[in-house]
């Protein structure tokens, strides 16, 4: 029986074919360290406000073996890229506004 979904699976299955629970992970790495919700929120806010911090945190956590750390790292990387895009977009808009109001053609 799968411990995650409760369905019957083969006794030698590495991954549950129904829910995807990976039994190899537990045997190989042990129990993963939990990341608190408050720390996740702090990481996400920092990743958006300071994109370089988001890239560093994202790369560190994405390189860890457990799925929760990979997810946190992935979200931090995505927020860092969004922050870069927003910064470039705002700089472009400011550039257009300055040129538009300065009268330079």
Q: Indicate the pTM of the whole model.
A: 0.63
pLDDT of residue 78: 96
Beta bridge partners of 22: 15
| DSSP assignment string, 30-77 | -SPPPPPHHHHHHHHHHHHH-HHHHHHHHHHHHTSSSHHHHHHHHHHH
In the chain (105 residues long), the average pLDDT of successive 10-residue segments reads 84 84 62 83 94 94 89 95 96 87 60
């Amino acid at each position: 029986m799968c411990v995650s979904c409760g369905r019957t699976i083969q006794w030698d299955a590495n991954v549950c074919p129904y829910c995807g629970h990976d039994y190899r992970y537990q045997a190989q790495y042990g129990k993963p360290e939990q990341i608190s919700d408050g720390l996740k929120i702090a990481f996400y806010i920092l990743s958006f406000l300071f994109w370089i911090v988001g890239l560093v945190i994202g790369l560190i956590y994405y390189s860890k073996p457990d799925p929760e750390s990979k997810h946190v790292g992935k979200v931090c990387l995505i927020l860092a890229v969004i922050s870069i895009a927003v910064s470039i977009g705002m700089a472009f808009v400011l550039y257009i506004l300055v040129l538009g109001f300065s009268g330079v053609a």
